Amino acid sequence: MALFEKGLEGLLEGGAMTGVAVGVGVLLLAPGLLPAIGRAMRPIAVGAIKTGMTAYNQVSSTLRETTEDLVAEARAELEAEGHGGRGEHGRRRSRTAATSA
């Protein structure tokens, strides 16, 4: 244990050479460690993406349903008021007529 503590103290008190040695060690270990870390993290990442997709689907379907209910309510109120959602002359205008006017 004392050897570990002395090694850690030496690492923290070391100068630029210690930093370079640690950097070289990390570079040498990276090709072996990164794929192993990637394999270990893949199921976690897939699970997180699946959870996000499920949450998105639930929220979007709730939002769609709420929006449809609001549109239906507004349409019913317009029809009850006698407007019926028509133009100023009581009939719908085509898109081409609306854009050219």
Q: Whole-angstrom Cα distance, residue 78 to residue 92?
A: 15
Q: Give the pLDDT confidence of 7-50 residue by residue, as tens digits.
A: 556 555 666 777 788 888 888 888 887 788 888 889 999 999 99
Q: Whole-angstrom Cα distance, residue 38 to residue 47?
A: 14
CB 75, CB 85: distance < 8 Å: yes
pTM, two decimal places: 0.46
pLDDT at 89: 47
